[in-house]
Amino acid sequence: MAEDKTIKGLGAPPKTHDGSAFRIAIVHARWNDEVIKALVHGAVDKLKSLGVKEENIVIKSVPGSYELPFACKKLIEGGKAQATKAEPSLISTTNLMSLVDDERAATPTGDKKAAVATREFDAVIAIGVLIKGSTMHFEYICDATTHGLMRVQLDTGTPVVFGVLTALTDDQALERAGIGRKGTKGHNHGEDWGLAAVELAAEATQWG
C-alpha cells in the first residue's frame, strides 16, 4: 500500500437499500455556513440517488449545533404525533434547493406548504460544523451536542445520524465537505450521512 493511502472510511453497505418509502428529516445548524451548505447538498443528493422522494425530505435549520438535539427531538415527536391522526394534513416543508441556496432565512414565511404523507420520520440527519476557537466553547458544545443527539435517538427510537463535524481548523472542515482548498478537495461526508440514514431506516425496523 502506498504510504499516503489511508485505511480510514466507510465500508460498502452489505446491500443496497431502496429509500423510496422513507421520510427523512435533515436538521442543520447555520454556523460555518459554507461548509454546512455543501454537507446538506451532499446528504440530499445521496438520499435522492437512493430513491428518497424530494417531498419526503424535510429540511429545518437552527442557529448552532447546540440546538440540534432539541430540534431533532421536536421534529421526531411532531412526526409521531401526526402519524396518529387519521387524516393527512398540510405540513410545512422547506423547498430543498431554495433552502440550501439561501432563501431559508425567510422562514417561516419563506416555507412552502406542501401536502406530504402524514407519518413519522424514518430517520433524522443532524448536521453541524464546529470549528475550534481560542476558548473552551468548542469542547462544551461538542460534548453537549454529541450526548444530546445520542440521547434523542435512544429515547425516541428513531435513528439520528451524527452529521456533526468537529474540526480543529477551517481546512479540516472544508476538506470533509468536499470543498477543501489545499490540494485535495476531500470527500463530502454529507453523502455518507444520507447513506447511513437510508440504511438505518431500512434495517432498524427489522431488528426490534
Q: Which residues are catalytic?
A: 137
Binding site for ligand DLZ (CB under 6 A): 29, 31-32, 63-67, 128-131, 133, 137, 141
* Continuous segment of H or E residues that includes residue 170: helix 170-176
> H-helix or E-strand containing 130?
strand 123-131
Cell of residue 89, nine digits: 394534513
For residue 164, give the 3-state DSSP assignment: strand
CB 59 within 8 A of CB 29: no
Nearest distance from C-beta of residue 64 to ligand DLZ, angstroms: 2
Given the complex with ligand DLZ, which of 13 and 63 has the nearer CB atom? 63
Q: What's the gap between Cα 5 and its chain centre?
A: 28
Query: Nearest to residue 26, comparing CAs of 85, 90, 96, 81?
Result: 96
In DSSP terms, 115 is beta-bridged to: 90
**The C-alpha cell of 72 is what?**
431533532
The kind and range of the H/E element at 71 are: helix 68-83
The nearest distance, CB 140 to ligand DLZ, in angstroms, is 9
Question: At closest approach, how far in Å is the CB of 62 from ligand DLZ?
Answer: 7
| 28, 38 contact by CB (below 8 A) | no
Alpha carbon distance 40, 27 (integer Å): 9
Question: 3-class SS at 196?
Answer: helix
